[in-house]
Chain A
Amino acid sequence: MSAEKRLEALRAALLETEQRELEAIKSDLDKLRAELDEIRPTPEHLAPLMAPALDLAQGAQREEMAEALNAVVAEGVKKSVHADRESFAEALSPAIGISIRKAIAGALKGFNQAINQAVEYSLSPKGLRWRLEAARTGVPFAQLVMRNTLPYALEEIFLIHNETGLLAAHATSGEGSKVDSDAVSAMLTAIQDFVRDSFSVGDGQLEEVEIGGRVVWVISGAQLSFAVVVHGTPPITLRQDLEQLLIDMHAEFNEQVAGFDGDREPMAPLLEKMQLVVADSLSQARDDASSGDEEGQGKKKPWLGILVLLLVAASLGWFGWQKWQVGQAFEQARLNLIERDDVVLLDWSRSGDALAAKGMFDPLLGPLLAADYLPAEFASKAQWQFAPYRSALPGALVAEKRELWAVPADVSLFQSDGWVAEGRASLAWVQQMRALNLGGMLAPSVDRVEVNPDEVQRWIDERMVTGVSARLEGEVLMLVGDVSYAGEAVLSARLQRWHREQLLLFSEVNAEALNREVDGQAKRLSTNIQQQKLAFASGVVMSPQGWAAMEQLADDLNEWLRVVPSAEEAVLVLYHHEEGLSKRRATKVKELLQQRGVPESLIRLAVQKQNDNAGMAVVTLKFTYGALKAFDIRL
């Protein structure tokens, strides 16, 4: 046995156990290799490893991973939106909601500002001035408003890094803050933080600060914010433009924005854009101002301006004069009103053309109508409230009596041992007052009241009987003309009534010039009546002749009543003896006459003296009528 074999045998004897273990390990290893060859990586294997792997990615590795995932994530998002829009919208709503809310708030703010401007420029003196200027220069009003509201200066734009408050870029028109822009940027951020945290406004932020004629807008973006300093009144759209610029800058320069660490060099393109905005706003303001000036110069019409000024001055003068006149009219009305003793003025409030007047007045002293005191155009609009009351003024009593007695305007009324009327009045009124006095009622004395003589004459003429005329000479009534029997009676009765009732004041009647004319028919009837002989056969039975005479007598009496106007004053007296047949016969005649229509009032029975026809049962007729004694007028 060679040494080598012996060594092998020794090794086998010494390492037998290890050898076996080694073989077993080899065998296991081969098995594992075989298994590994068969195993493919599955999602189950990879899933637990993804998150730690992403966390472990650093620096360039991370960027590579982001680039690798970019397309896949974009595609995935696209498919996810397509497949389930609602879930996607739900997931994004918190972020989008804030953006939408901000956008709507911004738009509403702009809208509000536009309304404020429109109202301000439409109604303010400034707006009216601009309208005049527009008319004078020919520049449209809207353009003029724009021009006058545009003079603003976008002085500075600070682009501030939200995280650090460091200034990323600073664009200025050259008229910016004198303070270090980095310090301003940081301080603005500090104030923003202070305000937000102090007032716990969450997502809210300080959006605008006004200092004197400047306004500082803070426009926040995702990583950068603008602090914009504007002098004057900027147009509504400027803020919107800047908001859009900030969004665009975030999108376009995402890499620079994300990587900002205080080094401003990479931010140069952003600064360039900001400078452009500042320069644009400057040139726009200048253009507007210069174009306005050029247009104004080109179309200037000085005479139109002067004319407008004159018109305005004339209008103002006219308005002032009108107002003054109105004021005077109202004041005069007030003075006239309080001049009336009975008027108690409680309120007199005037507002422009409208008047509210309140008080009291005594209606007895006259009506109180607004139209009597104010010009018609104001009277119709006035609140004229005057309550009636009874004043204790002397004039009020007179007024009351005047109203009571309907005293004519030309007659004055006063008290002098009773009420006395004086002046000129109609005869009718005077007669009424005399009638009241005669009737025992209180009425004024009308002795001092003159009546037009013509009216008196007319009154007499209208009431004078036919053929007679009368006229008053002093206290004597002169009668002239011809009068009939009937007329005499009427005239007599009438004159007595006039005198008794003081319808006409006369103390004497002169009838010397009056010719009495006998009325033929009246006289014939009178004669017939008196000549009738009423013969009785026996007792109260009439003879045929007597009956016929009685019939004729009745006819004549009825005829008398028909033809003679004053017939009622006539009397047929049937004279008889005191007792006996004579009285019975007279009574029978009266009865028969009454049966034939003769009124009882016309027939009277009378006792004849005993010595006349003594012992005879005779009835004697005697017909009398007033006219015969008419002119024995006893006044």
Chain B
Amino acid sequence: MATEVTRKLCLIGDFGVGKTSLVNRYVREVFDDRYLTTVGVKIDTKLVPVGDVTVKLVIWDIAGTEEANAVYRSYLRGMAGFLLVADGTRGYTLDNALKLKQSITEQMGELPWVGLLNKADLEGEWEVPADHPALLENPDSWLKTSACTSDNVQEAFEQLAASLA
């Protein structure tokens, strides 16, 4: 059995939901953030032990978008799973994230994913209701995260890595 496998995962979500902050919090930064504004993607890697296998996550932090255009789709090509990120203080970002997820599923089939409701540290501004249908439908797939306090950040990546091993 291989001791190490590599998997491509993508961070998907609206502008400003905190995708890059989550990655930066989780991994040693390899490339400069400016790549996001130039080619629209920044890539980092992280080794995650899952049982007796080490999964090397190749994390594609894709610049936020409202619709999956050609470049966006090409970045998603070949991913093994994705983190669906929404900003808990802006409810509409969850709706947009769900639309993106639906679009991806239609094009690429069902893939492992973990949903992140980010900015959990801003509890006072929280907009996403706990009984949101999406949360109720897959309660185990959603985590409240905070790139600021690191809450659930590692858990989110590791949960996805476990499903990709």
Which A residues fall within an 8 A CB radius of B?
161, 163-167, 179-180, 182-183, 185-187, 190-191, 193-194, 196-198, 261-265
Contacts and interface: CB of A to CB of B under 8 A. Distances in A.
Interface centre among B2, B6, B60, B79 (most CB of A within 10 A): B6
Interface residues of B, number: 26
B56 A163 contact: no
15 contacts: A161-B78, A163-B77, A179-B30, A179-B31, A185-B58, A187-B41, A187-B43, A190-B41, A190-B60, A193-B75, A194-B41, A198-B71, A262-B80, A263-B2, A265-B2
A197 B39 CA distance: 11
List the 9 shortest-distance A-B pairs measured between CB atoms, nearest first.
A164-B78, A193-B74, A163-B78, A262-B6, A186-B43, A194-B39, A197-B71, A265-B2, A190-B41
A163 B80 CA distance: 11
Interface string B33-46: 00100011101110
A550 B41 CA distance: 152
A164 B45 contact: no
B72 to A, nearest CB: 9
A165 B78 contact: yes
Contact of A166 (B35, B41, B78): B78
Contact of B60 (A186, A196, A198): A186
A181 to B, nearest CB: 9
A261 B79 CA distance: 10
B60 A264 contact: no
Given A179-B30, A180-B45, A186 B74 contact: no
Interface centre among A186, A187, A261 (most CB of B within 10 A): A186
A193 B40 CA distance: 11
Contacts of A193: 71, 74-75, 77
A162 to B, nearest CB: 8
Interface centre among A166, A198, A264 (most CB of B within 10 A): A166
Interface string B43-57: 111000000000010
A183 B78 contact: no
A248 to B, nearest CB: 24
Contacts of A164: 8, 77-80
Contacts of B70: 197
B4 A264 contact: yes
A263 B80 CA distance: 12
A382 to B, nearest CB: 63
B102 to A, nearest CB: 22
B58 A183 contact: yes
B5 interface: yes
Given A183-B43, A183-B45, A190-B75, A166 B60 contact: no
Contacts of B40: 194
B16 to A, nearest CB: 21
B7 interface: yes
Contacts of A197: 70-71, 74
Interface of B: 2, 4-8, 30-31, 35, 39-41, 43-45, 56, 58, 60, 70-71, 74-75, 77-80
A165 B2 contact: no
A166 B43 CA distance: 11
A186 B58 contact: yes
Interface centre among A161, A179, A182 (most CB of B within 10 A): A182
A294 B58 CA distance: 49
A190 B6 contact: no
A624 to B, nearest CB: 137
A263 B78 CA distance: 14
Given A165-B78, A191-B39, A186 B8 contact: yes
Contact of A190 (B2, B39, B56, B80): B39
A183 B41 CA distance: 12
Contacts of B39: 190-191, 194
Given A193-B71, A197-B70, A182 B41 contact: no
Nearest to B72: A197
A97 to B, nearest CB: 24
Given A187-B35, A191-B39, A193-B74, A165 B58 contact: yes
B6 A180 contact: no
A190 B58 contact: no
Contacts of A167: 6
A185 B58 CA distance: 10
Contacts of A182: 6, 45, 56, 58
Given A166-B78, A187-B35, 5 more contacts: A183-B31, A183-B45, A190-B60, A194-B41, A197-B71
B58 A264 contact: no
Contacts of B2: 263-265
B100 to A, nearest CB: 18
A167 B8 CA distance: 10
Given A190-B41, A265-B2, A183 B74 contact: no
Contacts of A262: 5-8, 56, 80
A193 B41 CA distance: 11
Contacts of B35: 187
B8 to A, nearest CB: 5
Contacts of A261: 5
A166 to B, nearest CB: 5
A180 B7 contact: no
B7 A183 contact: no
Contacts of A265: 2
Contact of A183 (B5, B30, B75): B30
Nearest to A192: B74
A221 to B, nearest CB: 15
Nearest to B6: A262
A437 B7 CA distance: 125
Nearest to A191: B39
Nearest to B40: A194
Given A161-B78, A191-B39, A197-B70, A166 B6 contact: yes
Contacts of A163: 77-78
Nearest to A161: B78
